Amino acid sequence: MKKIVIAIDGFSGCGKSSTAKAVAKTLNYTYIDSGAMYRAVTLHFINSFTNLTNPKEVLKALSTLKIEFHKNEETGFQETYLNGLNVEKQIRTMKVSERVSEVSKLKDVRQELVAQQKRLGRHKGVVMDGRDIGTVVFPDADLKVFMTADLIIRAERRQQELLEKGDLVELDKIVHNLGERDRIDSSRDISPLKKADDAVEIDTSYLDFDDQVTQIVKLAKEKI
Ligand code: C5P
């Protein structure tokens, strides 16, 4: 059976990752969380006190960075490793969420991560989610999906996810963070967040999770 590339882009907190994971599982594809890579770089920069306005420091920090994904045998899902350490929990904290869009604007960071993402998807059979997957990383992706949802609904879902990890965060703080990230991600000069012309748009505000997965799997099967 033909293997394809599925690109899922969209605003922060629309459920791209959970949807992409479920689609990958159904199709027996590899799921790649490109946002986790930008988050891991951000954590690395925070830990190394990298000055984002100094390109030499940014390049130096990037040269000492190794991001890997390893499967957690208990959950069956990939987890993010930074220089050999499992950082899956740390990269999801507000501390990282509040800095990640500033880091993702940097040319050198994007160049490095886009190259890694292209390598990760070169054998196809992947579902990758992010902001520029259908426009820049895989402009020839066989299936492109662009996910949106109402900001308050997204924030409530994110609050619940954080709570499940034992992190109680005020709704206002999450609304502000999602809105700010969308603003910075959509207005940056290099590969801004935007819907690819040939992407199928799905508004998940009032969609049942299983329905949105089924919808994407159906679209994928039409291409396989
Ligand atoms: O997907 P997630 O919300 O974890 O992404 C975190 C941040 O990483 C985004 O707000 C954005 O700044 C950046 N990102 C990006 N390009 C991607 C994926 C994520 O700029 N392909």
Q: ipTM of the predicted structure?
A: 0.99
The tens digit of pLDDT for each residue in 90-128 reads 999 999 999 999 999 999 999 999 999 999 999 999 999
- Of 149, 131, 153, whose CA–CA distance to 199 is shortest? 131
Position 1 scores a pLDDT of: 82
Asked if 119 contacts 23 with a C-beta cutoff of 8 angstroms, the reply is no
Quick check: 202 and 146 in contact, CB under 8 A?
A: yes
Supply the pTM of this predicted model: 0.96
CA-CA distance, 146 to 1, in Å (whole number)? 25
Q: Where are the domains of the chain?
A: 5-207
Q: Are strands 85-86 and 78-82 parallel, antiparallel or unpaired?
A: antiparallel
- Residues in the chain with pLDDT values less than 70: none
CA of 128 to the centre of ligand 1 (A): 12
CA 35 – ligand 1 centroid, Å: 4
Does ligand 1 come within 6 angstroms of the Cβ of 181? yes
Under CATH, domain 5-207 is a member of which superfamily? P-loop containing nucleotide triphosphate hydrolases (3.40.50.300)
